[in-house]
Amino acid sequence: MKFSYNWIQELVDGLEASPADLMRLITIKTAECEGVEAAGAHFAQVVAARVLEAEPVPGSHNRKAVVDAGALGRRTVVCGAPNCRPGIITAYVPPGVSLEGRETGRRVVAGVESDGMLAGGAELGINRDHEGILEFDAEPGAPLPRILPDHVIEVDNKSLTHRPDLWGHHGMAREVAAITGKRLIEPANLGRIPREPAAVQVSIEDLQLCPRYSALVFENVTVQPSPLWLQYRLEAVGLNPINNIVDVTNYVMAELAQPMHAFDADKLAGDTIFVRNAREGERITALNDETYHLSPAALVIADANGPIAIAGVIGGLDSAIGDSTARLVLESANFHAANIRRASSRLKLRTDASMRFEKSQDPVNTVRGLARAVELLELVSPGIRLVGGLADLAAPARTPAPITLPMDWLIRKLGRPIGSAEVRSILESLMFGVTETGPGVFSVSVPTWRATKDISIKDDLVEEIGRMVGYATITPTAPVVPTEPPPDNPRRRFHRAARQTASAQGYHEVYNYSFLSEEDARRFGLAPADHVTVANPISVDQALLRRTLIPGIWKNIRENGRHFDQFRLFEVGMEIHKRESGLPDEIPHLIAAIYERTKETGPLYEVKRLAECLMPGCELRPDTARMFEHPSRTANVLWRGHTVGRLFEFHPDFVEGRAVVLDVDLAQMEALAPVGKRYQPVRRFPESAFDLSVLAARRALAGDLQKQLASFAGRFLESISYLRQYEGAPLPEDAKSVSFRLTVAAPDRTLSSEEVGAIRDAIIEGMRGLGYEMRV
């Protein structure tokens, strides 16, 4: 929202703060300002000038004009505007003045030196007219009438969300007056509305959706451009000047936050304005030339024939003010905020009116807006006359109960002492009604423009008093809290340890998005329908929520593969799994990968080492490969009897070079992780070790052999470990010899060589019983 400094100054008697100071004050006390910019600085130098001569310059469309610029004397300028003709008063811009960021100079146009220039509305920032130079009435040499250099303060709309009153200059002026202790000027004079029967009837179907509808009828209307000062005002705050009637409605909106609409009265059927829901199949062509099909949920303004406006959003084209308009109906209404918001989002149409109504405007404001409009219309449309009095239909006024504000409670919330007198004076400066109902207890009534949504409980008053007294006056104070350790979060601790392990092993942590494309899902053999889907994705390739971290790490591998021959990556993130109803399952996973460009044996065992560091004693079991996995290098990861994840090499169709991935479920791992440790006495008697080799098929699993050996070793087996394996002569073609070292010991004595020999023999015998040849 843009605020004109001059406009605020007009409404705050004796305002002295500079624009920059004002911006700081508003930021600290009221709402966030994004900046302040000088607007129309050139109006300090632009003057009115009378065109004395205007001769065509041969061979161009330009004219050589001589103007009388009052004290600046006669000047010769070259002007391309078609309306440049002797007799008119226009705007003369002397050389050296900056317009639209360009400096006006002395330059030669078509062989004629132009000493400054004549300017149009768009060039000067008064309106958006690029057609010609300005024409107005003033003494040559005088400044442009009622047009002064200004400053525009831009306030962040988000910080005005709860303040319907600040969507107009008068609301902001009220804040400024309270902050600076100056007097606020009321621009509307309710006395301007005659007490007569209305010339138009109003019918409201649902007073909840339209709590108030006020209207006036005017005749003898002249539609013409607004005076330049009014156009300039609108332009400065970002509103487009259109014609005097529409400009007045916008002016009142920008001043009082009350949106208004003017209908051409002669284009309305019947003498009643209906406020009702749209009927099935109704449509309307709006002022923006778009045709809208209206749903019955939409509220419309209608005449006897049908909709003439979408309530609170936009007017209809058929009843719009045009050059021929002679009579008008001026609407100033109040609409239900949420309903307007729904309508405007359904229509995908946000207008200056809908933006204000959705903030819950004050129903009291409608008549005030009309009163202000009466005055302005008389100024911009000479001879205009009111027909009859005010049409005004309203729901019974809601007077919210006053808020009880105990001083001790307030002081506790602020954390700063404050006296009753100061509290009263702050609240009164903001126009709250304050009565002391008991010792240290105020009863506070809320002004109507703050009561629609903004302020209803005593906590809301803490803000009013806090910001006005100044948050900087509150001294930071340590809270008194129990000294006790906070509740533990074992999950976070577990994830942290896993991250630590992975990074210590050389893996770099990546963060990938939670989004996935349908194409990626299919690429990894997943049906898009099995995913949680985003209804309004930024783009189609971000329409699904990931239920696996594999596609993300796959992309990382491919992209980094362009820059590095080998690397290690990992991610800890959520898999999101759809459920029948309710929140999806979010399963934390750790995924780690090693990439090597060379096609040698590959980094599978290196990745397995990470698995073993994370889960001491985990095992790999070969498993059927999914389409993206290497068919003979894919395994489930088992830990403590449970499958907790997957370790696989990417299929060469997916990754050039070798990439091995570990993908494990951290929640399951956490549940399986051993808790607590218990000391085992250090063995006092020596242990004995011996090696055994098993001749087995080439694809026999060493892990299986080891388990089988162990199963025959009996209770004295201390440990068994893989030593080496051998293939080749003199072994048969499809055989290998796998060697293990077994260590045996007893807790209470040294095993005799006979005992050790017996254990060894039992193992050999057991293995032979299973059909293995033992090499001993």
Partner 1 sequence: MLESQLQNLAASARERILAAPGPEQLEAVRVEVLGRKGALAEISKGMGKLAAEDRARIGKLLNTAKNDLEAALEERQKRFAGEALRARLDAEWIDVTLPAPGPRPGTLHPLTQIQQELEDLFTSMGVAVLDGPEVESEYNNFDALNIPPDHPARDMQDTFWLGDGLCLRTHTSPVQVRGMAKLGPPLRMIAPGRVFRNEEVDASHEHTFYQLEGMMVDRNVSIAHMLYFMKTLLSHIFGREVTVRLRPGYFPFVEPGFELDIQCLICGGPGCAVCKQSGWVELLPCGLVHPNVLRQGGIDPEEWGGFAFGLGLTRLVMMRYGIDDIRHLQDGDLRFLRQF
Site for partner 1 in 34-53 (CB under 8 A): 35
Contacting partner 1 (CB under 8 A), which of 414, 451, 700, 746?
414
- Phi (first) and psi of residue 139, to 5 degrees: -75, 135
**Alpha helices (H) along 226-273:** 228-236, 244-256
Q: Does 481 bind partner 1 (CB under 8 A)?
A: yes
Residues 6+ apart with CB under 8 A from 724: 738, 739
Instruction: Starting at the earlier edge strand, list the strands of the sheet with 508-509.
Output: 508-509, 566-577, 585-596, 658-665, 642-650, 629-639, 619-622
Q: Which of residues 10-39 bind partner 1 (CB under 8 A)?
A: 27-32, 35
Give helix 604-614 / helix 490-504 axis angle, nearest 10°: 150
DSSP lists the bridge partners of residue 649 as 660
Residue 181 CB, nearest approach to partner 1 (Å): 19
Nearer to partner 1, 74 or 412 (CB): 412
Q: Distances from the Cα of 370 to the Cαs of 267, 271, 574, 666, in angstroms?
A: 21, 19, 58, 66
Residue 152 CB, nearest approach to partner 1 (Å): 17
Q: Does 282 bind partner 1 (CB under 8 A)?
A: no
Q: Does 306 bind partner 1 (CB under 8 A)?
A: no
Q: Does 401 bind partner 1 (CB under 8 A)?
A: no
Half-sphere exposure of 563 (CA within 13 A, CB side): 5
What is the Cα–Cα distance from 535 to 532, expressed in whole angstroms? 10
Which run of H or E residues covers position 501?
A: helix 490-504
What is the Cα–Cα distance from 319 to 754, expressed in whole angstroms? 113
Nearer to partner 1, 114 or 180 (CB): 180
Which run of H or E residues covers position 595?
A: strand 585-596
Nearer to partner 1, 185 or 504 (CB): 504
Residues 6+ apart with CB under 8 A from 508: 567, 568, 569, 570
Q: Does 277 bind partner 1 (CB under 8 A)?
A: no
Residue 162 CB, nearest approach to partner 1 (Å): 5
For residue 375, how far is the Cα from the chain centroid? Answer: 41
Contacting partner 1 (CB under 8 A), which of 222, 285, 445, 505?
505
Stretch of residues binding partner 1 (CB under 8 A), selected from 196-204, 292-300, 485-493, 629-637: 485-493
Q: Which of residues 430-459 bind partner 1 (CB under 8 A)?
A: 457, 459
Q: Does 534 bind partner 1 (CB under 8 A)?
A: yes
Q: Does 613 bind partner 1 (CB under 8 A)?
A: no
Nearer to partner 1, 272 or 566 (CB): 566
Eight-class DSSP state of 187: -
Nearer to partner 1, 158 or 715 (CB): 158
> Residue 665 is which amino acid?
D
Residue 365 CB, nearest approach to partner 1 (Å): 18
Nearer to partner 1, 426 or 569 (CB): 569
Q: Does 513 bind partner 1 (CB under 8 A)?
A: yes
19's torsion region: left (phi>0), alpha (psi -120 to 50) or beta? alpha
Structure tokens, 28: 């600290």
Contacting partner 1 (CB under 8 A), which of 9, 512, 668, 693?
512
Q: Does 359 bind partner 1 (CB under 8 A)?
A: yes
What is the Cα–Cα distance from 174 to 448, expressed in whole angstroms? 14
Contacting partner 1 (CB under 8 A), which of 416, 626, 642, 651?
416
- Phi (first) and psi of residue 252, to 5 degrees: -65, -40
Structure tokens, 413: 């919330």
Nearer to partner 1, 450 or 760 (CB): 450
Residues 6+ apart with CB under 8 A from 271: 199, 200, 201
Contacting partner 1 (CB under 8 A), which of 182, 192, 346, 467?
467
Contacting partner 1 (CB under 8 A), which of 514, 636, 708, 739?
514
- Phi (first) and psi of residue 479, to 5 degrees: -75, 150
Q: Which of residues 327-346 bind partner 1 (CB under 8 A)?
A: 337-339, 341-342
Residue 504 CB, nearest approach to partner 1 (Å): 6
Nearer to partner 1, 60 or 404 (CB): 404
Contacting partner 1 (CB under 8 A), which of 102, 108, 348, 536?
536
- Phi (first) and psi of residue 681, to 5 degrees: -55, 140
Contacting partner 1 (CB under 8 A), which of 40, 466, 551, 602?
466
Stretch 134-173: interaction string toward partner 1, x if CB under 8 A: ------------------------xxxxxx----------
Contacting partner 1 (CB under 8 A), which of 385, 508, 683, 707?
508
Residues 6+ apart with CB under 8 A from 348: none
Nearer to partner 1, 246 or 498 (CB): 498
Q: Does 400 bind partner 1 (CB under 8 A)?
A: no
Q: Does 361 bind partner 1 (CB under 8 A)?
A: no
What is the Cα–Cα distance from 215 to 371, expressed in whole angstroms? 11
Residue 467 CB, nearest approach to partner 1 (Å): 5
Are 620 and 635 in contact by the 8 Å Cβ rule? The answer is: yes
Q: Does 545 bind partner 1 (CB under 8 A)?
A: yes
- Cis before 382? omega within 30: no
Q: Which of residues 752-771 bind partner 1 (CB under 8 A)?
A: none
Q: Does 533 bind partner 1 (CB under 8 A)?
A: yes
- Phi (first) and psi of residue 435, to 5 degrees: -130, 145
Q: Which of residues 552-611 bind partner 1 (CB under 8 A)?
A: 552, 555-556, 559-560, 563-564, 567-570, 574, 576, 581, 583-584, 586, 606
Q: Which of residues 78-137 bind partner 1 (CB under 8 A)?
A: none
Residue 358 CB, nearest approach to partner 1 (Å): 5
Residue 99 CB, nearest approach to partner 1 (Å): 26
Q: Does 485 bind partner 1 (CB under 8 A)?
A: yes
Cα angle 381, 376, 449; round to 5: 150
Taking the CB of residue 497, how many other CB atoms lie within 10 A of it?
A: 13
Nearer to partner 1, 160 or 320 (CB): 160
Contacting partner 1 (CB under 8 A), which of 137, 383, 438, 511?
511
Nearer to partner 1, 480 or 729 (CB): 480
Residue 675 CB, nearest approach to partner 1 (Å): 20
Q: Does 295 bind partner 1 (CB under 8 A)?
A: no
Structure tokens, 250: 């916008």
Are 552 and 654 in contact by the 8 Å Cβ rule? The answer is: no
**Alpha helices (H) along 30-72:** none
What's the maximum distance between 2 C-alpha atoms anywhere in the chain?
A: 132
What is the Cα–Cα distance from 116 to 91, expressed in whole angstroms? 11
Half-sphere exposure of 674 (CA within 13 A, CB side): 10
Nearer to partner 1, 485 or 674 (CB): 485
Contacting partner 1 (CB under 8 A), which of 506, 622, 631, 747?
506
Contacting partner 1 (CB under 8 A), which of 532, 638, 700, 731?
532
Q: Does 535 bind partner 1 (CB under 8 A)?
A: yes
Contacting partner 1 (CB under 8 A), which of 219, 282, 318, 460?
460
Are 591 and 661 in contact by the 8 Å Cβ rule? The answer is: yes
* DSSP secondary structure, 355-384, as one string: HHHTTT--TTHHHHHHHHHHHHHHHHSTT-
Stretch of residues binding partner 1 (CB under 8 A), selected from 50-58, 378-386, 484-492, 621-629: 484-492
